[in-house]
Structure 1
């Protein structure tokens, strides 16, 4: 993923795409992971997802250790990918994210017994996107790849 600096107001960046399937799935996953946070219920999907916009501040360096917030963002992103794959294909899907403390790891999405997404992760503290469109493009690319694997190998994908 090519990431650049963002200097726009991120609070309205997701407004136009809030009804998009993946964007909606990601907001649903975030709300489900934090059910007791009443503040989240008051936020729109767009406001909730602003953490996924990459904003680089001058003079701020990355830590060599993955922050809990960054790991959560990665986990929720791939959980939303799995949710959309399951919704679109009907095959039971799940995401697994394995991270080391040194800021790298791996994300898998499985459908049945089939691995449909296999992503290597580096510098997870920088996990984000320059815009809502970039977030959605990357998600749709991963979802479409997963759906292609499911169409190619339907039997293992259907096994749960």
Structure 2
């Protein structure tokens, strides 16, 4: 699609953090760099459905797999942008029937921050890039407001925790472990897995014995 066609069909491409995130979600599936030469507007062109195109669509129709995939990516981008702004991991789940009706929810921690009923999903799209950006930004802002209003149910933030075990240098920093309780559980799991390996118990006991010996000798 030429730049002129993109400009006419979707209008002016705005500067939008949401559009950048949505384009990044799509590019993440390009394992071989096939789309490196495409602009973000080119990648998001399928989200544009003009009024004329919408009128030509049947009122009732089965949604195509490509449309369902675009809906998932639309909400995936909201979840990722929400995580950047709030520090809370978010994921979407959707269930859509073959008739084009369904529901999508976005869950952040233990909190449902978005719950939307969908209909006529075979006609899913926006008349312009500006409308697409506004829809994504609005839902992200609403989800962030929900998190702010329910701090006790949002779950832990994704923060780094420096291990406070007896030998912190051995374990370093757990970027995926938000608190000390989970840190302790992680070490217990590692110890269990070590014991399940061939010779794991003997190796662990031998290491403890060598440490004890060095302590006595010192």
Deviation digits for residues 64-95 of structure 1 (CA, Å, limit 9, x no counterpart): 21110110110000000111111111111111
Distance in 2 (alpha carbons) for counterparts of 1:96 and 1:14: 31
Distance in 2 (alpha carbons) for counterparts of 1:44 and 1:81: 20
Alignment match, 1:89: 86
Alignment match, 1:71: 68
Alignment match, 1:49: 44
Q: Which has the higher contact order (CA 8 A, sep 6+)?
A: 1
Larger Rg: 2
| CA 1:10–1:124: 2 relative to 1, 3 Å | farther
| TM superposition shift of 1:113 | 0.7
| Equivalent residue pairs, number | 150
Q: Secondary structure at the match of 1:155?
A: coil
Give yes or no for the alignment of 1:126 onto 2:115. Answer: no
Distance in 2 (alpha carbons) for counterparts of 1:110 and 1:76: 15
Note the residue ranges of structure 1 that are not aligned, 5 or more in a row.
Answer: 1-8
Deviation digits for residues 82-129 of structure 1 (CA, Å, limit 9, x no counterpart): 111111111111111211111111111111010001111111111101
Give yes or no for the alignment of 1:29 onto 2:28. Answer: no
TM-score calculated relative to the size of structure 1:
0.84
Deviation digits for residues 26-55 of structure 1 (CA, Å, limit 9, x no counterpart): 0011122x2336432221111110111113
Distance in 2 (alpha carbons) for counterparts of 1:85 and 1:10: 32
Q: Secondary structure at the match of 1:139?
A: helix
Q: Are the aligned partners of 1:14 and 1:47 in contact in 2 as well (CA < 8 Å)?
A: no
| CA 1:60–1:102: 2 relative to 1, 3 Å | closer
Distance in 2 (alpha carbons) for counterparts of 1:73 and 1:30: 9
